Amino acid sequence: MLLALPTLVLLAGLLAYPLGRMLVLSFQDMELRHLFSGSTPPWAGLDNYTEILTDGEFWAVVRRTTIFTVVSVAVSVVLGLAVALLMLRVNRPVRLAMVISMLFVWAIPQLVSAQIFKWMVDADFGVVNHVIDQIPGVDFANHSWFADPTQGWIVITTLVVWAGVPFLAITLHAGLTQVPRDLLEAATVDGASGWQALRSITLPILKPLVVIVTTLSVIWNFGLFTQVWVVRDSKPEQDYQTLATYAFTQAFGRNNYSLGAAISVITVLLMLGVMAFYIRQMFRIGDVD
Amino acid sequence: MTHQTLKEEPVKRRIAVAAGLAAALLGTAACGGSDSGDDSSAALDGKGKTLKVWLMVDAQSSWKEIVDDANARFTAATGASVSVEYQQWANHLTKLDATLAGNDVPDVIELGNTEMPKYVFSGAFGELDKATFDNSANWLKGLSGPCELDGKTYCVPYYAGARVLIYRTDLFDASGVKPPTSYSELTAAADTLKAKNGSNNKFAAFYMPGAYWYAAMSWVYAEGGQIAKKDGDKWVGTLAEPTAQAGLTKWADVVKKYSSGDITKDENDQAAIFAQGQAAMFYGNGWEAGAAQEQRKDPNDPNSELVATKVKGKVASAPLPGIPSFLGSSNLGVASKSKNQALAAEWIKTFTDTKAQEALLGKGVLPNATNLLDKAATVKGNEATALAAKSSWFVPMAEKWADVEKAGVLQQMLRDIVTGKRSVADATMWADTEIAKILNG
Which pLDDT tens digit goes with each residue over A114-127?
Answer: 999 999 999 888 89
Q: What is the pLDDT of residue B43?
A: 58
pLDDT, tens only, B14-33: 333 333 333 232 333 333 33
- B115 CB neighbour count, 10 Å cutoff: 21
Residues of B in contact with A35 (CB under 8 A): 97, 100-101, 122
> Does ipTM top 0.85?
no
Query: Would you list the DSSP string of A134-155?
Result: HSTT---TT--SSSSHHHHHHH
Superfamily covering domain A63-214: MetI-like (1.10.3720.10)
- Higher per-residue pLDDT: A240 or B260: A240
Q: Which domains does chain B show, CATH number per domain?
A: 2-161+327-393 (3.40.190.10), 163-206+265-326 (3.40.190.10), 211-258+400-441 (no CATH)
Domain ranges of chain A: 63-214
Residue-level pLDDT at A238 = 86
Cβ–Cβ under 8 Å, residues A119 and A159: no
Q: Determine whether the interchain pair B91/A234 forms a contact, defined as Cβ–Cβ distance below 8 Å.
A: yes
Q: Using CA coordinates, name the residue in chain A closest to B279.
A: A124
| pLDDT confidence bin for B260, thresholds 50/70/90 | confident
Which residue among B97, B101, B264 places its CB closest to the CB of A146?
B264
Q: What is the mean pLDDT of residues A90-108?
A: 94
Label residue A198 exposed, middle or buried (CB < 10 Å: 0-12, 13-18, 19+). Answer: middle
A185 touches chain B (CB under 8 A): no
pTM of the full structure: 0.78
**What part of B 76-135 touches A (C-beta under 8 Å)?**
90-91, 93-94, 97-98, 100-101, 118-119, 121-124
Measure the CA–CA gap between A60 and A49, rounded to whole angstroms. Answer: 16
Examine the pLDDT at B417 and tell me if it is beyond 90: yes
Query: What tens digit of pLDDT does each residue of A5-30 get?
Result: 998 899 888 989 999 999 999 999 99
Q: Check CB contact of A101 with chain B, cutoff 8 Å.
A: no
* Pick from B352, B357, B304: nearest CA to B331: B352
Question: Which of B96, B105, B115, B122 is the best residue to mutate to test the A interface, defined by the most A CB atoms within 10 Å of its own CB?
Answer: B122
A32 touches chain B (CB under 8 A): yes
CA B274 to the chain's CA centroid: 19
**B295-335 residue pLDDT tens:** 878 877 767 788 888 899 999 999 999 999 888 889 999 99
Amino acid at B37: G
Please tell me the predicted confidence (pLDDT) of residue B67. Answer: 95
Contact A120, A126 (CB under 8 A): yes
Task: Say if A235 is an interface residue toward chain B (CB within 8 Å).
Answer: yes
Q: How many CB atoms are located within 10 Å of the residue B167 CB?
A: 25
What's CA B224's distance to the chain center, in Å?
A: 22
Least CA distance to B405: which residue of chain A?
A: A254
- Per-residue CA distances from B313 to A141, B275, B309, B316 (Å): 27, 11, 9, 8
- What SS3 state is found at A105? helix
Binary contact (A254, B415; C-beta < 8 A): no
d(Cα A124, Cα A4) in Å, to the nearest integer?
57
Contacts of B252 in chain A (CB under 8 A): none
User: Residue A287 above 90 pLDDT?
Assistant: no
Please report the pLDDT score of residue B128 as a whole number: 94
The pLDDT of B104-123, averaged and rounded, is 91
Cβ separation of B98 and A252 shorter than 8 Å? Answer: yes
Closest A-chain CA to B91: A234
Rounded CA gap, B183 and B193, in Å?
Answer: 15
Residue of A nearest to B121 (CA): A33
Contacts of B268 in chain A (CB under 8 A): 233
- Rounded to the nearest integer, the mean pLDDT of chain B is 85
For residues B95 and B323, the answer to whether their CB atoms sit within 8 Å is: no
